[in-house]
């Protein structure tokens, strides 16, 4: 039997209570309000899976891979490279659960850690339901639930919902109800923003904000509370100095390491990306590997020179502003190594100013590239400084289509 009704917090809680009482097994699916979410994250569908009245799993079609990545960066950053995705993850509503189960069975993840990951993922979905949900329907179906295998844990839907509801209330009290954590901040007017806030604050913001990373991603990467971070940006957004815009989900991708490269790939020019933002490194990898280049990424500036000496790349992309060692310092160190005095070094920056360009040239940088990364510009730079035969390199259209 299918029940369809308008979404209401009290009604949804009563539905959870009824599911517990009736030991419901099946799926509760929530649809977003198209008119509301067009300004938030687009149209979404969330699926909550129950086993005998307890909440087993939940997912959505919005920012699914970003949510997965955030959960690991928050709880188990060292395991993210082991959390490989299936070949066709979109077709499987339970692939995240299965990957976590596999990590537990291989003893790479403790059961308590797995439960923390699941609670994080479930909590994000429930928060989104509270912000954007409009209607729901529920249908009993034990066949799909059985596909998940033996559960790692089942959760109290009332408790998880209560935790998410408290977060949502705090979000509303901060006057952020119209802002989704999945929106990405973008600096509209660099000069005006520089005039309105202290120089140190601007340097910090310009380093964090690339126009492509959602609020939730930035908060996790910088180990901040997303509510606190968004509250700090809210006055700038209301003044029109920044906008919050929709960005696509990450593409499903498995990490590439040198041991898995084919013999053909090992003979191609290797590219090193040094940027403390995992998102920027990931964006570069997505384009470069599809163009045919093996790509190595590091976020720790102290590992720049050791990695350079070990990997011997043919081209380096180097972030300008990083903790401990800046792009200027690293570029200068690279030029002092005789084997790399002529290697192309491309500076990545979110503030493409004349002073930065001059200083970068002084320390030996070959070129500049603005962030967020433009695939067309990236391809042009790579072809100029690190060409491969045209029959080996796909077109930009092919790169973006794959």
Say yes or no to pLDDT of 388 above 80. no
pLDDT at 259: 33
Among residues 189, 184, 176, the alpha carbon closest in space to that of 208 is found at: 184
Whole-angstrom CA distances from 323 to 213, 238, 348 are 19, 30, 15
Q: Where are the beta strands (DSSP E) in 146-294?
A: 184-187, 242-245, 271-274
Say yes or no to pLDDT of 236 above 90. yes
> What's the average model confidence in pLDDT over 284-293?
79
pLDDT at 179: 93
E strand or H helix at 316: strand 315-319
Question: Domain locations in the chain?
Answer: 3-173, 184-245, 258-401
| pLDDT band for position 91 (cuts 50, 70, 90) | low
Are 340 and 366 contacting, i.e. CB atoms less than 8 angstroms apart?
A: no
Out of 3.90.1150.10, 3.20.20.70, 3.40.50.720, 3.40.50.2300, which CATH number does the structure's domain 258-401 have? 3.40.50.2300
| pLDDT band for position 7 (cuts 50, 70, 90) | low
| pLDDT band for position 252 (cuts 50, 70, 90) | low
Cite the DSSP H helix spans in 48-183.
Answer: 64-75, 95-105, 111-132, 142-146, 157-173
Say yes or no to pLDDT of 86 above 70. no
User: What is the DSSP secondary-structure string of 285-301?
Assistant: HHHHHHTT--EEEE--G
Q: Which residue has the tokens 């040094």?
A: 274
pLDDT at 216: 96
Tell me the per-residue pLDDT of 15-55, one tens digit each, with 9 for 90 and over: 899 999 999 999 999 888 765 544 555 557 899 999 999 99
Of 94-108, 113-127, 177-191, 253-267, which gets the smallest average pLDDT? 253-267
Tell me the per-residue pLDDT of 332-354, one tens digit each, with 9 for 90 and over: 999 899 889 899 999 988 776 67
221 vs 1, which has greater pLDDT?
Answer: 221
389 vs 121, which has greater pLDDT?
Answer: 121
Q: What is the DSSP letter of 155?
A: B
Of 9-13, 87-91, 272-276, 358-362, which gets the smallest average pLDDT? 87-91
Of 54-63, 94-103, 108-117, 367-376, which gets the smallest average pLDDT? 367-376
- Residues of the chain with pLDDT > 90, as a percent, come to 34
> What's the average model confidence in pLDDT over 131-156?
83
Say yes or no to pLDDT of 289 above 70. yes
Q: Which residue has the tokens 């977060």?
A: 167
Say yes or no to pLDDT of 401 above 50. no
pLDDT at 254: 39
CB burial of residue 132 (10 Å; 0-12, 13-18, 19+): buried
> What's the average model confidence in pLDDT over 272-283?
84
| C-alpha span between 232 and 388 (Å, rounded) | 46
Of 12-26, 122-136, 200-214, which gets the smallest average pLDDT? 200-214
Are 137 and 4 contacting, i.e. CB atoms less than 8 angstroms apart?
A: yes
E strand or H helix at 280: helix 278-290
278 vs 392, which has greater pLDDT?
Answer: 278
> What's the average model confidence in pLDDT over 186-207?
85
pLDDT at 308: 92
Averaged pLDDT score across all residues of the chain: 82
> What are the backbone angles phi and psi of residue 159, rounded to the nearest 5°?
-70, -45
- 3-state secondary structure at position 18: helix
Tell me the per-residue pLDDT of 206-223, one tens digit each, with 9 for 90 and over: 878 888 899 999 999 888
Whole-angstrom CA distances from 303 to 229, 297, 316, 353 are 29, 11, 14, 27
């Amino acid at each position: 039997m299918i029940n369809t009704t308008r979404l209401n917090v009290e009604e949804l809680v009563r539905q959870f209570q009824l599911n517990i009482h009736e030991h419901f097994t099946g799926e509760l699916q929530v649809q977003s309000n198209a008119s509301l979410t067009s300004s938030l994250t687009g149209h979404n569908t969330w699926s909550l899976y129950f086993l005998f009245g307890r909440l087993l799993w939940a997912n959505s079609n919005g920012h699914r891979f970003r949510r997965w990545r955030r959960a690991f960066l928050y709880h188990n950053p060292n395991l993210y490279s082991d959390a490989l995705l299936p070949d066709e993850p979109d077709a499987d509503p339970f692939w995240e659960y299965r990957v976590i189960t596999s990590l537990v069975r291989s003893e790479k993840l403790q059961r308590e850690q797995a439960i923390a990951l699941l609670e994080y993922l479930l909590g994000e979905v429930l928060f989104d339901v509270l912000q954007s949900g409009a209607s729901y329907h529920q249908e009993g179906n034990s066949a799909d639930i059985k596909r998940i295998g033996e559960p790692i844990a089942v959760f109290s839907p009332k408790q998880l919902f209560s935790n998410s509801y408290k977060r949502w209330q705090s979000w509303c009290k901060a006057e952020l109800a119209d802002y989704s954590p999945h929106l990405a901040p973008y600096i509209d007017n660099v000069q005006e923003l520089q005039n309105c806030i202290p120089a140190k604050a601007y340097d910090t913001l310009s380093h964090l904000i690339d126009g492509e990373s959602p609020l939730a991603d930035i908060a996790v990467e910088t180990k901040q509370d997303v509510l606190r971070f968004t509250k700090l940006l809210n006055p700038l957004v209301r003044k029109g100095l920044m906008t919050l815009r929709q960005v696509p989900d990450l593409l499903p991708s498995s990490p590439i390491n040198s041991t898995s490269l084919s013999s053909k790939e090992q003979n191609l020019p290797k590219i090193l990306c040094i940027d403390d933002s995992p998102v920027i490194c990931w964006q570069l990898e997505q384009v470069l590997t599809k163009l045919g280049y093996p790509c190595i990424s590091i976020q720790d500036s102290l590992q720049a020179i050791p990695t350079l000496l070990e990997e011997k790349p043919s081209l380096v992309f180097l972030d300008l502003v990083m903790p401990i060692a800046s792009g200027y310092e690293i570029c200068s160190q690279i030029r002092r190594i005789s084997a790399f005095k002529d290697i192309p070094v491309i500076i990545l920056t979110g503030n493409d100013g004349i002073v930065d360009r001059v200083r970068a040239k002084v320390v030996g940088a070959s070129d500049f590239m603005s962030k967020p990364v433009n695939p067309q510009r990236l391809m042009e730079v790579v072809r100029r400084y690190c060409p491969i035969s045209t029959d080996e390199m796909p077109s930009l259209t092919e790169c973006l289509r794959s």
